[in-house]
C-alpha cells in the first residue's frame, strides 16, 4: 500500500499528512512533559520534527493543489486541517481519497 502511494504526488502528500498528524499529536503529549515534569528535551526533538513535517505538508499541499487544480475552498480546508488535532486524518478521508 505504501509503495503504491509513493508513486504519485497525492500519495506522497497523504503519507506526509499522516506523519504530520501523528507528530502533532505526539507534540501535544510532550508539552505536559515539558511543563509539568520539567523535562524539555522530548519537546525539542518532537517540535523540530513536527515543524519540518508541517512545512513539508504545506509545500506538498500547494504542489498537489496546483497539479489537481483544487478549488481555494478545498485548499483552505486542507490547510485548516493541519492546525487541528486529528484534522489531517479527517481530511485524508474526506478530501485526499476522492
- pTM to 2 decimals? 0.90
Q: Is the dihedral of CA 68, 87, 27, 35 positive or negative?
A: positive
CB 14 within 8 A of CB 88: no
Can you spell out the DSSP letters for 52-93? HHHHHHHHHHHHHHHHHT--HHHHHHHHHHTTSTTHHHHHII
Close Cβ partners of 49 (under 8 Å, ≥ 6 residues apart): 23
Dihedral Cα 34, 39, 41, 43, nearest 10 deg? -20
Report domain extents, the chain: 8-96
Q: Indicate the pLDDT class of residue 5, thresholds 50, 70 and 90.
A: confident
Residue-level pLDDT at 45: 95
Residue-level pLDDT at 98: 62
Asked whether residue 1 carries a pLDDT value surpassing 70, the answer given is: no
Segment 12-33 shows an average pLDDT of 94
Amino acid at each position: 500500500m505504501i509503495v503504491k502511494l509513493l508513486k504519485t504526488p497525492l500519495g506522497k502528500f497523504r503519507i506526509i499528512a499522516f506523519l504530520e498528524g501523528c507528530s502533532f499529536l505526539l507534540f501535544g503529549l510532550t508539552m505536559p512533559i515539558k511543563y509539568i515534569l520539567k523535562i524539555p528535551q522530548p519537546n525539542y526533538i518532537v517540535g523540530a520534527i513536527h515543524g519540518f513535517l508541517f512545512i513539508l505538508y504545506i509545500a506538498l499541499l500547494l504542489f498537489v493543489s496546483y497539479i489537481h487544480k483544487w478549488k481555494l475552498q478545498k485548499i483552505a480546508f486542507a490547510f485548516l486541517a493541519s492546525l487541528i488535532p486529528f484534522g489531517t486524518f479527517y481530511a485524508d478521508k474526506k478530501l485526499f481519497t476522492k
